Amino acid sequence: MQSQEIREKFLKFFEERGHVVVPSSSLISENDPSTLFTGSGMQPLVPYLLGEEHPSGKRLVNSQKSFRAEDIEEVGDNRHTTFFEMLGNWSLGDYFKEEQLPWLFEFLTEEIKLEPHKLYVSVFAGDEKNNIPKDTESVEIWKKLFKQKGIEAKEVELDTVERGAEKGMQGGRIFYYGTTKNWWTRFGSPENMPVGEPGGPDSEIFYDFGTEHDPKFGKECHPNCDCGRFLEIGNSVFMEYKKTDAGFEALIQKNVDFGGGLERIAAASNDNSDVFEIDIFRETTSVLPDSLPSRVKRIIADHLRAGTFLVADGVEPSNKERGYVLRRILRRAMVHAKLNNLKGGWIRDIISSYIDSYKSHYEYLDEDRDRIIKTIEAEHEKFSTTLEKGLRELDKYETITGTDAFYLFQSFGIPWEITEELMTQKGVSVNRQEFEEEFKKHQDLSRSSSAGVFKGGLVDHEPQTLKHHTAHHLLLAALRQILGSHVFQRGSNVSAERLRIDFSQPEKMTPEQIKQVEDIVNQAITDDLEVVRDEMQKSEAEKLGALAEFGAKYGDVVSVYTIYNKDGSVFSREFCGGPHVQRTSELGKFKIIKEEASSAGIRRIKAKTE
């Protein structure tokens, strides 16, 4: 089944069951200092899982763009990708296990037509230490669902991956695992969760490709084995707990948070364990020479797809934070292309292929095609000379240490596996552990140097950045005046160079509307309006009509910035950590640079003050 068809079927299936389709958030995780990128569909929804009221209601569904940097080194096998789409449906205190599991089973077996006998599930074994019970409810539901398909579903206790590798399948269909596998939170195990963080037991569903077990992954196979026979295609999280100083307590509402990898479901639909054989990748890799090794094709295909979406969402290659991650994946692809003598317009061909595949759902990619291609081609041109030097430098080594390998990576962008491969050809081994230690030192230094960079949601606290931050508030208020109260912020980025706002708006703005918004902001600047900060109870701020940042998490006491008109009425009022200028006259002249699509139902404006 085609990826586009699966995405459309999923959204329609849950829309027919009372869910509102919400747009994908940006890959740039806004106002979340715990991560650089959006890595799951639930990330923007944490406040609503904790009990805040979502503007679209209690039942939501979407396909969320996601990026996980920790998988970079794994890309090249048949199932790891850095960028992926996560199909998600949520119940915010509405339905629970009794509705979710049957719906999911119906979607996979009736809509996607997966064979029921190829599906296996895992459930939570309980956590006595934290007084969290075993999930017997999900087991009973799964047993009934499988029985309807003529399958007797035996339950098996495994608890850990190690025990699974020792005991194996044992004729089971439903497998109990503990907190390392069937407890979901953004922070791993219950012990690692910070106070206030939500989490809960989950039930994963696996597809069995029937491939032969590889004993290097353990004596016996089981659903969480890494040998490739099983692939997790979805996970229903029953988010019903919150970490407290005293342990765990029930949330004020029971939530469902489902996530299913679009690419993985497509692979299961093909009954082919190679994710890179799905339509999206197959169409793209067809522009690459047949002579390229499959691992190289996968690396290039994955990294350029991720690069396309990251650049589209506003990331530029650099040596800092998000830009560094983007640069790393692009250069990793470029090294492999160079070593395999890939010439010509391969970058343009691959990016164009992706945009053509995705533009029906992410129309903004097509609008931004030239900029995306130019940005990545410019990085290729910039890197080419450095890469030549690095390969010449590597060629000089007769023996090499892990520290040397890290030097080549840090100075010339040569990935570990390239150094290892080229030195192995000389009969020389490289100390991977030493390389990893050097890499960790570098990461720790990077984290220390960037601590606090997200304070107030700003890149820095330069005067021009503060001006753009205040202009951002004026712009949102002006947009709501001209377009209507349906306009809410759905993402932002504020720097000294410019400001960017993503906002809910189904249609492209007309030139007249853009001019009206610009004029309103400039009039507010001319009027020299006062910008006032207050601290108050969150409930009071909500009563006053303060606009909240989409996906942001607030405490009981909040900071609110209000910009007052000359007559004392409110021009703008938002939840915000600041900082801002004191009066709007400090901003100078406001200018909208560009208005464009960001994603379905979301527009984007880039602007600046002079």
Annotate 112-160 with DSSP letters as a single string.
S---GGGEEEEEE--BTTTTB---HHHHHHHHHHHHHTT----EEEEES
Give the CATH number of the domain where residue 264 resides. Answer: 3.30.930.10
> Strand 59-67 vs strand 20-21: parallel, antiparallel, or unpaired?
parallel
pLDDT of 189: 79
* C-alpha span between 352 and 333 (Å, rounded): 17
User: What sign has the CA pseudo-torsion 187, 432, 329, 88?
Assistant: negative
Query: Does 215 share its domain with 269?
Result: yes
Residue 374, CA distances (Å) to 325, 351, 364, 369 in order: 18, 11, 16, 9
**Look-up: residue for tokens 């409930």?**
539
pLDDT of 230: 96
* Three-state SS at 242: strand
Give the CATH number of the domain where residue 550 resides. Answer: 3.30.980.10
Query: Does 70 share its domain with 219?
Result: yes
* C-alpha span between 133 and 128 (Å, rounded): 7
State phi, psi for 91 to the nearest 5 degrees. Answer: -115, 120
Query: Does 273 share its domain with 369?
Result: no
Residue 28 structure tokens: 């740039």
Query: Does 324 share its domain with 399?
Result: yes
Angle, alpha carbons 202-205-208 (nearest 5°): 150
Residue 502 structure tokens: 């993503």
Residue 366, CA distances (Å) to 173, 279, 480, 531, 584 in order: 45, 19, 27, 39, 36
Residue 73 structure tokens: 């080194």
* C-alpha span between 76 and 367 (Å, rounded): 30
Query: Does 502 share its domain with 437?
Result: no
Which of 430, 450, 470 finishes a domain?
450
Query: Does 158 share its domain with 13?
Result: yes
* C-alpha span between 392 and 414 (Å, rounded): 11
pLDDT tens digits, one per residue of 409-435:
888 888 888 888 888 888 888 888 888
Query: Does 603 share its domain with 496?
Result: yes
* C-alpha span between 574 and 492 (Å, rounded): 14
CA nearest to 121, candidates 151, 89, 82: 151
Query: Does 223 share its domain with 295?
Result: no
Burial of 75 (0-12, 13-18, 19+ CB in 10 A): buried
Query: Does 487 share its domain with 427?
Result: no
* Three-state SS at 39: coil
Sheet strand arrangement including 557-564:
530-537, 557-564, 570-575
Q: How many domains does the chain have?
A: 3
Residue 92 structure tokens: 């915010």
pLDDT tens digits, one per residue of 526-535:
999 999 988 8
Which of 277, 312, 342 finishes a domain?
277
Where the chain has pLDDT below 50, the residues are 449-457
Tell me if 209 sits within 8 A of 261, measured CB to CB. Answer: no
Query: Does 176 share its domain with 72?
Result: yes
pLDDT of 33: 56
pTM above 0.85, yes or no: no
CA nearest to 314, candidates 593, 546, 85: 593
Query: Does 233 share its domain with 327?
Result: no
* C-alpha span between 312 and 373 (Å, rounded): 10
Query: Does 404 share its domain with 520?
Result: no
* C-alpha span between 567 and 429 (Å, rounded): 75
Domain region containing 516: 456-609
* Three-state SS at 75: strand
The type of residue at 79 is: R
Which of 277, 294, 309 finishes a domain?
277
